[in-house]
Amino acid sequence: MTAHTLTTPSHTTSYLAAGPAGGPLLLFAHGWPALAATWRKQLAHFAALGYRVVAPDLRGYGHSTVYGSPDAYRQENIVHDMLELLDHLGRERAVWIGHDWGSPTVWNLASHHPDRTAAVASLAVPYRSLELGLAAMLPLVNRDLYPEGTYPMAQFDYMAYYEEHPERATAVLDADPGSSVRALYRRGNPITPGTRVSPLATLRRDGGWFGGADRAPDLPLDTAVLTEEDAEVLTRSLARNGFAGPTAYYLNHEANAVYARQAVNGGRLDLPVLFLGADYDATADIVTTRLAEPMRAHCSDLTEVRVPAGHWLQLERPDLVNAHLADWLSRMGITPAP
């Protein structure tokens, strides 16, 4: 696996690459607050199978450009970065694979640029949800668990908190990046879905992250999700760049929705689509909510699989994630030459 940098007049993208140069291209987009390196278990696996694998640090992360203006983190700009990277790689199309905030990016690539998309896969975040903004997701939540009078924003209350208090949210996470990483990267809780209110549903009431504390609690590392080396790489990067860029991804819901609605063919996807849902993800809950219904209505070639894991499923269950991705690619005929 090798590290590379693409610099254009407008932007710098750092990325990891592995596998045969001529293999089918899989391009992995990470989420919040992550790095290209959080895909390392997928990169190693698929490179060994003969795929060309590439994972960029999205803007605001790693050694990619960090911008001061929240507007810079609109999805339209991030899609542009990915198309520049695809051109730089000398490829017409890629299989786009995303997680968390990388999911809206790959969904937008598929829906706005189907000619640059061989297929698209998302982990945790279904199509026609986050890329359409907070207002589009609220009607789909589980109001039995989150009565509107008590939890008006349901499990997405933290997104409203970011919009109202971005500086405070950033400062708490910046206060101790190592503790923030250890607190945020936790395995899923296999409690019966829909029976436990997410702590993210009360962030505004609690005064912010971690019950209104000034910094993250000093928790032990959850080695089911991160190794010591993984945690150190993430901590160094977030300490260098800060959380302001990552937080800004949450400050563009309206602009992102306008852009998403400009997709070709009314947003309908007729190319191969894979969605890997996390059974124990209390935020991107696809078990007891209707969050995945718009995706099902807009995709004509959808494969949907549930993984018994939490939000970080590619780290928590790389065996299953890799197997499901490989099986889907094989069935789609997207395989390396013998």
End-to-end alpha carbon distance in the chain: 22
Distances (CA, A) of 88 to 12, 92, 112: 12, 10, 19
Determine whether 100 is an active site residue: yes
Task: Please identify which residue in the block is written with the tokens 């199978």.
Answer: 49
Q: Evaluate whether residue 171 is within a structural domain.
A: yes
Taking phi first (over 0 means left), then psi (-120 to 50 degrees means alpha), and beta for anything else, what does residue 314 get? alpha
In one-letter notation, the amino acid at residue 55 is A
Classify 30 as helix, strand or coil.
Answer: coil
Q: Would you state the torsion angle of the CA atoms of residues 40, 291, 159, 227, taken in this order, to the nearest 10 degrees? A: -20
Where are the alpha helices (H) located in the chain, listed in sequence order? 40-48, 75-88, 102-112, 134-137, 157-164, 166-174, 177-184, 203-206, 209-212, 228-241, 244-248, 253-260, 293-298, 313-316, 318-331
Q: In what order do the strands lie in the sheet with 2-7?
A: 2-7, 12-18, 52-56, 25-29, 94-99, 117-123, 273-278, 302-307
322 within some domain: yes
Q: Is 336 within the bounds of a domain?
A: no
Residue 239 inside a domain? The answer is yes
Q: Which pLDDT belongs to residue 338?
A: 82
- The model's pTM is 0.97
Catalytic residue among 30, 253, 298, 311: 311
Is 279 annotated as catalytic? no
Domain hosting 241: range is 2-331
Q: Are 130 and 103 in contact (CB under 8 A)?
A: yes
CB 315 within 8 A of CB 38: yes
pLDDT at position 191: 81
**Rounded distance between C-alpha atoms, residue 44 and residue 84, angstroms:** 24
Residue 199 belongs to some domain of the structure: yes
Strand, helix or coil at 118? Answer: strand
As a whole number of angstroms, the distance between CA 39 and CA 142 comes to 31
| Nearest 10 degrees: Cα torsion 62, 65, 69, 74 | -80
Distance between CA atoms of 229 and 179, rounded to whole angstroms?
A: 15
pLDDT tens-digit series, residues 237-285: 999 999 999 999 999 999 999 999 999 999 999 999 999 999 999 899 9
User: Rounded to an integer, what is the distance from CA 214 to the centroid of its chain?
Assistant: 26
The verdict on residue 338 lying in a domain is no
Residue 94 is encoded by which pair of tokens?
């890629």
The pLDDT profile of the chain, 338 residues, written as one tens digit per residue, is: 999 999 999 899 999 999 999 999 999 999 999 999 999 999 999 999 999 999 999 999 999 999 999 999 999 999 999 999 999 999 999 999 999 999 999 999 999 999 999 999 999 999 999 999 999 999 999 999 999 999 999 999 999 999 999 999 999 999 999 999 999 999 998 886 778 899 999 999 999 999 999 999 999 999 999 999 999 999 999 999 999 999 999 999 999 999 999 999 999 999 999 999 999 998 999 999 999 999 999 999 999 999 999 999 999 999 999 999 999 999 999 999 88
Cis status, amide bond into 9, omega within 30 of 0 = no
Nearest to 102 by CA among 15, 9, 5: 15
Interacting residues of 31 by C-beta distance below 8 A, sequence separation 6+: 98, 99, 100, 101, 102, 103, 124, 125
CATH number of the domain residue 7 falls in: 3.40.50.1820
**pLDDT at residue 55, rounded to an integer:** 99
Q: What is the pLDDT of residue 167?
A: 96
Per annotation, catalytic residue among 100, 157, 222, 285: 100
The predicted pLDDT at position 299 comes to 99
Continuous segment of H or E residues that includes residue 3: strand 2-7
169 lies in some domain: yes
Count of domains for the chain: 1
**Burial per residue of 26-54, b for 16 or more beta-carbon CB atoms within 10 angstroms, e otherwise:** bbbbbbbbbbbbbbbbbbebbbebebbbb
